[in-house]
Structure 1
Amino acid sequence: MTRRPAHAAHLLSTPDEVEAQFYEALREGDLDKLMALWADDDEVVCVHPGGPRLVGHGAIRAAFEAIFASGRINLQVERVRRVHSADAAMHSLVERVNIVTAEGAQVGHVLATNVYLRTAQGWRLAAHHASPGTADEPPEIVETPSVLH
């Protein structure tokens, strides 16, 4: 069973376009724009750092509404790794979050995985999973191909 988000987004031609709009909506605190990027399916899933698994548009919307109520999110996307096929894509990245508290400015790091599906409405977000990172993220370990061409 599927369900349509409250505001349909325009046809998105690539997972990168969806991702750019997702993080733009986060920075702008635009809940309707953010929710329009999700796939039209009851099984969409979101996990925030240290939080429970949220399944479905209603649960995801409520969580982001609570996050946006705390104020603007100032974040930058770094170190994106992409795996794409014809109808699905997975992006692994680091979110660098700038936080202003009474003690001053701080930087937090979140490790995120975003899964995208090609749908009749274009590319849409099917899953967002975020875990706490550290200020000193270790360098990436990249496997070296065993065969040279």
Structure 2
Amino acid sequence: MPRTKAQTAALLSSPEDTEAQFYEALLNGDLDSMMAVWAEDEDISCVPPSGNLLMGHAEVRAAFEALFEHSAVQVRVEHLRRQRHGDVAMHLVAEHVQMSTPEGPRDIYLLATNVYLQTAQGWRMVLHHASPTAPEERSGTADGNATLH
């Protein structure tokens, strides 16, 4: 069931809450919940695994809408590093995505950088950048000792 704006706002009280909402929206294929995590500023950016730079709400929304037309995204997330400096937080994560393709199920491994900004409306995402990787090329731990590329 989609969340109300009040429920979403309550969840976005920390970068961790915002990130949880982002991945929940992916899992549920919920476009409204997905867009609720993004800052209202038009300077938001998303670089999906394809490498195309998406800038602003219209482009980001259109990309997730197209993604969700096919299905929700089955993703497992491993947190590699979390940093917070004042009103900005950066999270590095490993994403294991399972997709259905015409050729059958496919596993995709990604490294992603999620950047959050504390706004008057709570913590909001301003950047999601995901790059393909092989599972053996990614190493690191949540304690901050990570090798990414």
What TM-score bracket applies, with the shorter chain setting the length? 0.7 to 0.9
Q: Would the alpha carbon gap of residues 132 and 68 (structure 1) be closer, same or farther in structure 2, given more than 3 Å must change?
A: same
Partner secondary structure for residue 136 of structure 1: helix
* Equivalences, count: 137
- Structure 1 CA distance, aligned partners of 2:69 and 2:124? 25
Counterpart of 2:78 in structure 1 is: 78
Alpha-carbon distance in 2 for matches of 1:83, 1:59: 27
Q: Which residue of 2 aligns with 1:13?
A: 13
Provide, for residues 28-68 of structure 1, a one-character-per-residue CA deviation record: whole Å limited to 9, x for no partner: 00001100110110100001012311110001000001111
CA 120–98 in structure 1, closer or farther in 2 if over 3 Å, else same: same
Aligned partner letter, 2:36? A
1:45, 1:53 within 8 Å by CA — same for their partners in 2? yes
Larger Rg: 1
Between the aligned residues of both structures, percent identity stands at 49
Moved over 6 A (4+): none
The offset of 1:71, in angstroms, is 1.2
Do structure 1's residue 110 and structure 2's residue 97 form an aligned pair? no
Matched-pair contact (CA < 8 Å) for 1:107–1:135: no
Segment of structure 1 superposing worse, 23-32 or 80-89: 80-89
RMSD: 1.9
User: In 2, distance between residues paired with 1:75 and 1:138?
Assistant: 16
Which structure: greater helix fraction?
Answer: 2
CA deviations on 1:77-121 (whole Å, 9 max, x unpaired) are: 013310102211000111101123455433210110000000000
* Structure 1: unaligned runs, 5 residues or longer: 1-6, 144-149
Q: Which residue of 2 aligns with 1:36?
A: 36
- SS of aligned partner of 1:49: coil
Letter in 2 for 1:39: A
| Residue in structure 2 matched with residue 4 of structure 1 by the alignment | none
Aligned to 1:146: none
Q: Deviations over 1:10-29 (max 9, x none)?
A: 14211000000000000100
Q: Quick check: 1:119 aligned with 2:119?
A: yes
TM-score by length of 1: 0.83
Look up the SS of the partner of 1:84 in the other structure: strand
In structure 1, C-alpha distance between the alignment counterparts of 2:69 and 2:26, rounded to whole Å:
12
Q: Distance in 1 between matches of 2:122 and 2:67?
A: 27
